[in-house]
Amino acid sequence: MRRLPEKDVAVVGLGAAGGVAVLPLAEAGLQVVGLEAGTRLTARDFSPDEIRNNVRAWPFASQKANREIPTVRATSRHPTSRGSTHPMMNGVGGTSLHYWAQSWRLNPWDFKTVSETTRRYGARRIPDGSTVEDWPFGYDELEPWYDKVEWEVGISGQAGNVAGSIHPTGNRFEGPRKRDYPMKALRWNGFLEHMADAARGLGWNPFPGPAAINSEPYQGRSGCRYHGFCDRGGCHVDAKNSTAVTTIPRAEQTGNLEIITRAVATAIEVGGEGRASGVRFIQDGEEYFQPAKSVLLASYTYENVRLLLLSKSRLFPNGLANNHSQVGRHYLSHHQHAPVSALFPFDMHAWYGLPAQGVAIDDWADDNFDHGGLDFVGGGNLWVMSDRKPIQAANMSTFGRVPSWGSAWKAYVKNNADRFHYTYIQRTTLPYESNRLDLDPTSRDPYGLPVIRVTAQFKDNEKAISDFVQDRMVEWYRAAGAVEVQKGGEPNAMPVSTHAYGGTRMGDNPETNVVDRWGFSHEVPNLGVLGASVMGTSGAHNPTLTAQALAWRTADRLAESWSAIAG
Amino acid sequence: MAEQRPKGISRRDLLRTASVAGAAAAVGQTGSAAQEPGTASARAATYEHLTAEEAELLEAIADHLIPADDNGPGALDAGAVHYIDRSLGGAQSGSRDDYHSGLAAFDRYCRVTRNARFVDLEHTDQISALLDMQTGGASGARVGFLGSSAALFSMLRAHVLHGTFGDPYYGGNRDFIGWKLLGYPGPRVSVTTVDQRRLEAGELEAEYQSAYDWDSFVRSEDAEDA
Amino acid sequence: MVTHAFRISVLAVAVASTAIAGASTIVVESPALRTGETVPREYTPDGRNLSPPLTWEDLPEGTKELAVVCADFGAGNPPPWVHWILYGIPGNSVGLPAGLPIEPSVPMPAGLEGAIQGHNGWGISLYRGPAPPPGKAHIYHFTVYALDQKLGLGPGLDREELLEAMDGHILGQGEIVPTYERY
């Protein structure tokens, strides 16, 4: 095993979270090494090719994630199953290279779910079996970092609440922000205008969704071209603000960031006093040890948990930072279930759009409506996007009207390819005692290391949210003139997801949380964790902006308190 | 309608060759193997990974999944089977066994239950056999399906769709048949607000090409780096 | 398990004859099927999987329309698994010939105009015969319902929706209950 020169900070994973953290650290003058399992990709790799992006899941990129797909079961009484592809990818920029780039702040309620629910509806409203806690701080604490990421990375959107002043064209339910977005929202098209009108007709408050995508030239990069291959596609003009084209290059320019690609981390080493001493990794079949004064784990929820559990030592026999058995606990994922699909009697002209181009409704999200007569807490965001690709269109639902092949099918698809729409409900999801991650006892990766096992099931609260919010979506579709509407069910077990939270939860109490309010392990003071694995609630919105704001905040803390944390 | 037709050419073949301009095949004609579509030797010359029998069967299946009809050409004309054959040499090489064993099992199923190879069955019996593959009913006939025949059907349908509606760089969607069927105006690198308005007004002309007709993109087709 | 299925079969027959006060029992027969006997292969995926021929007699007076359901109460989650569902069958028809259409473009034969095949358990609008897991015989109830009016139902109904629509309109019913086993 080759020992490399020591660095101040080793960051494991250069995705959305690790990719922002390296900038404040490098700008603070710390010597940072980013260990990334994938490789560097550029705009030339991002062709408008549905087969490559969507059918074959990026065969030209590193397939490490596909070699360690977690197993899944609903509860410990169910057998596990395993999918054939992983929804995340490896690369400099990680999944932020091809993600949908929806970039939301959480609602203030998401930080204080327990106390707010208790105050408004009574403590008995917290679902049985849930291990939910208030976050150790509120929205106001995180607001400066939300603002920082929005301006440094580049988020386009329409503000709804600027320092308490409500702007009705934005999200009137959002927490107050210091200032507007740096760029206006992505454009709407005729169909989206129509959906917004239908929502207003129902008395709802539609607004354009925020995205980590340039709506106009920004920081010397192009604005979005709306070419229609953004869904799991990289951006050919660098308008999608992955960390690969925003914070990582700026960090490299300081001269203080070294990036090692094709680096597969296998363990975090610990010294005699119980402090992290560095990261072991394999590159091209060779083993290396990267010593560091501090380690930031940023390899996404499943891998963060896995690396900790695999990093056993005398001082941490159950895995690093796991002496309170909290690693893997309080796991949840929250989206792409409870779908609703619709058929409109007119063409939507949706061939040139993107998933982040859309109309949002938050009237039924979070605690934005009175749950007085209802049997659940939280809610769901409704999101109507405009995005369509050919193979995807040919795979449209036929609403049981025609068979799935043959001349009748062909005629149906020919007439309706541009008339089909679907949505998923992204909803509040709480952590539960029985939902957790651990190491699978039998499935292993090619290095012989166990993969993660997900034991997680949607509970009554979340199913009730789905039922309720799906019905709202049906209402919206009907109000907009849909002639067919179909609600879908959801699986019993939570599948492997791009929105996976928990496993290294953040909180003041070391008995129930892995990291403290700054993101550092209660047990290992120079080990920080970045990403949605520190989040204790999901909210009804995408996690990435929050994960990035938290990551930047943890990095700032590390830089400011360097001698205290790194010793 | 009573027809004389050579064994091995289905009624669909006749409909297809009648509707596709320039086709040479007709009832009773012979020609050189390389020029007459529909013969086993022509197929063997065209495909690299599928045997002549497999290709004949897969063509017949694809022809049912997306037929040529009043709504235009179908999967066969689009080259969906060529797409599949090429993919079996690269990105889908992991599916080769599934194709070899699955197609053999399906043909055996047709012989055991309906007394003929799929390509020799009457049109309605072909549809019924495909439905039994689709629903999984064929699996219990013990003809060698690995697992449920429904999984094979899903794979075939998915691959035929990819080969009909995917970028022609991969060997399918010939003459942009699939994109034209859907009304997809073709890939672009930039769509302005004006373009979008013209699309909504029905005034945007389609521009058909492969993504790789532009020089700007790297063309790695297969999972060499996986 | 076989005992369980047999008990359900007895129950179903009992239900058929006493469910609705005054409801008559239709005599359902078939040149191909017999209660308690094996379905011939050609009406299964071990053969051509044609829909089987059925005949019915002793329709209650006032029958305006008929429906047919083929269900296996020993399968499905929850049971039954539906193999076939037809409705809108003209009230003056005497039965179904073998091999009804399996393509949307092919019309129903003469005498059955307006009859619609609804969604079976696979979600397709046609007959798919017995395909039980090997090792145990399953029991298939071909039930004929006589209705007191034309229900005017559209395409695509499944068994639950059909039963709901027929509720209160069933003048009588009858069934034939063959079996099938795969090895």
The model's pLDDT over B43-100, given as tens digits with 9 standing for 90+, comes to 666 899 999 999 999 999 999 999 999 999 999 999 999 999 999 999 999 999 999 9
Q: How far apart are the first and last CA of chain A?
A: 26
Contact C142, C175 (CB under 8 A): yes
Q: How many helices (H) and strands (E) does chain A have?
A: 13, 22
Burial environment of residue B209 by CB neighbours within 10 A (0 to 12, 13 to 18, 19 or more): middle
- The 3-class secondary structure across C131-152, one letter per residue, is CCCCCCCEECEEEEEEECCCCC
Report chain A (567 residues): mean pLDDT per 10 consecutive residues: 97 98 98 98 96 93 95 97 94 98 98 98 96 98 98 98 97 98 98 98 98 98 98 98 98 98 98 95 97 98 98 97 98 85 98 98 98 95 97 97 97 98 94 98 96 96 95 98 94 93 98 98 98 97 98 98 91
Question: Hey, is the C-beta of A483 within 8 angstroms of any chain C C-beta?
Answer: no
Maximum distance among all Cα pairs of chain B, rounded to whole angstroms: 60
Residue A337 is predicted with a pLDDT of: 74
Any residues with CB less than 8 A from the CB of A329 and at least 6 apart, and which?
A: A131, A431, A436, A502, A503, A505, A512
pLDDT greater than 60 at residue B22: no
- The chain C residue lying nearest A405, using CA atoms, is C103
Instruction: Give residue B18's pLDDT band: very low, low, confident or very high (50, 70, 90).
Output: very low
Q: Do C131 and B128 touch (CB under 8 A)?
A: no
Strand A71-73 with A450-455, pairing: parallel
Task: Please report which residue ranges of A40-127 form alpha helices under DSSP H.
Answer: 50, 108-111, 113-121
Q: Which SS3 state, helix, strand or coil, does residue A2 take?
A: strand
Instruction: Give residue B42's pLDDT band: very low, low, confident or very high (50, 70, 90).
Output: low
Chains interfacing with C (3 or more CB pairs < 8 Å)? A, B
Q: Averaged over B25-35, what is the pLDDT?
A: 37
- Chain C hits for B140, CB-CB cut-off 8 Å, are 45-46, 131-134, 182
Contact A182, A146 (CB under 8 A): no
Question: Hey, is the C-beta of B150 within 8 angstroms of any chain A C-beta?
Answer: no
Residue A272 is predicted with a pLDDT of: 83
Q: Do B67 and A51 touch (CB under 8 A)?
A: no
Q: What percentage of chain C carries pLDDT values higher than 70?
A: 87
pLDDT greater than 90 at residue C6: no
Whole-angstrom Cα distance, residue B196 to residue B204? 8
Q: Do B140 and C133 touch (CB under 8 A)?
A: yes
Please name the amino acid found at residue C159. Answer: R
Q: Averaged over C130-137, what is the pLDDT?
A: 95
Strand A257-260 with A32-35, pairing: parallel
Q: Which SS3 state, helix, strand or coil, does residue A529 take?
A: strand
Question: Hey, is the C-beta of B124 within 8 angstroms of any chain C C-beta?
Answer: yes
Q: Do A227 and B189 touch (CB under 8 A)?
A: yes
Residue A335 is predicted with a pLDDT of: 66
pLDDT greater than 90 at residue B34: no
Q: How far from B205 is each of A334, A335, A546, CA to CA, in Å?
A: 41, 37, 42
Interface of B with A in 153-182 (CB under 8 A): 157, 161-162, 164-167, 169-170, 178-179, 181-182
pLDDT greater than 90 at residue C165: yes
Residue A491 is predicted with a pLDDT of: 85
> A16: part of which helix (H) or strand (E)?
helix A16-27
Query: How many other CB atoms are found less than 10 A from the CB of residue C4?
Result: 10
Chains interfacing with B (3 or more CB pairs < 8 Å)? A, C
- Chain C hits for B138, CB-CB cut-off 8 Å, are 45
Contact A87, A498 (CB under 8 A): yes
Dihedral of the CA atoms B149, B153, B159, B160 (nearest 10)? 150
Q: Which of A482, A480, A358 is nearest to A426 (CA)?
A: A358
Whole-angstrom Cα distance, residue B82 to residue B48? 9
Q: Do B138 and C45 touch (CB under 8 A)?
A: yes
Q: Which of B176, B154, B156, B155 is nearest to B167 (CA)?
A: B176
pLDDT greater than 90 at residue B9: no
C85 phi, psi to nearest 5 deg: -150, 125
- Chain B hits for C44, CB-CB cut-off 8 Å, are 137
Residue B46 is predicted with a pLDDT of: 86
Whole-angstrom Cα distance, residue B214 to residue A142? 44
Instruction: Look at the pTM and tell me if it is higher than 0.90.
Output: yes
- Chain A hits for B218, CB-CB cut-off 8 Å, are 44-45, 47, 60
Handedness of CA B115, B119, B124, B129 (dihedral sign): positive
Q: Do C104 and A400 touch (CB under 8 A)?
A: no
pLDDT greater than 60 at residue B224: no
Min Cα–Cα distance to chain C from A400, Å: 7
Average pLDDT, chain C: 90
Any residues with CB less than 8 A from the CB of A448 and at least 6 apart, and which?
A: none
Cis before C78? omega within 30: yes
Contact B222, B169 (CB under 8 A): no
Out of B181, B189, B226, the one facing A225 most closely (by C-beta) is B189
**pLDDT tens digit string along B120-179?**
999 999 999 999 999 999 998 889 999 899 999 999 999 999 999 999 999 999 999 999
Site from C82, C105, C128 to mutate, A interface, most A CB atoms within 10 angstroms: C105
Handedness of CA B130, B135, B141, B146 (dihedral sign): positive
